[in-house]
Amino acid sequence: MVLNGPNLGRLGSREPDVYGATSYAGLVERCTALGKEFGFEVEVHETNSEQQMVEWLHEAADGQVPVVINPGAFTHYSYAMRDAAAQRTAPLIEVHISNPYAREAFRHTSVIAAVASGTIAGFGIGSYELALRALAEQLTTR
């Protein structure tokens, strides 16, 4: 499961100098193609709703489904999402398109990082590819 938080559905038009020119549809296509390459199905979701994100994290935990998550702005303050992510029963990798530490100070804190298997940031859309590769490796060594 690849989960995307607020404003990520606007990829391609939202601050392309920060987030790149790839559209959200392009991200979905890339993630699903990589999943096939690695031998697993990838479901990609995007929401501006904290409630929906928490529900998807519960679904993943209940089904022992690995997660790649870009929490967007929820990264910095959503303790509800952090608590849902802490219930994970499979690897959970936090991703960011930009490098939060090279941006505004409020972006330097992630409430998700402490409960994630790892974090990948700053490689543009390639952050998702790196996360899916890491996930595939973790799943084959389990």
Say how many Å lie between the first and final Cα of the chain, rounded. Answer: 18
Q: pLDDT tens across 55-86, in order?
A: 999 999 999 999 999 998 889 889 999 999 99
Which member of 79, 96, 101, 128 is catalytic?
Answer: 96
CA atoms within 13 A on the CB side of 65: 19
This model's pTM is above 0.95: no
Tokens 């038009």 appear where?
13
108 annotated active-site: no
Tell me the H-state helices in the chain. 16-19, 24-38, 50-63, 79-85, 126-141
Low-confidence winner among 2-6, 73-77, 85-89, 118-122 (lowest mean pLDDT): 73-77
3 and 70 Cβ atoms separated by less than 8 Å: yes
97 assigned binding-site residue:
yes
Q: What percent of the chain has pLDDT over 90?
A: 70
Domains of the chain: residue spans and CATH:
2-141 (3.40.50.9100)
76 assigned binding-site residue:
yes
Q: pLDDT tens across 8-17, in order?
A: 877 776 766 7
**pLDDT value at residue 22:** 76
19 annotated active-site: yes
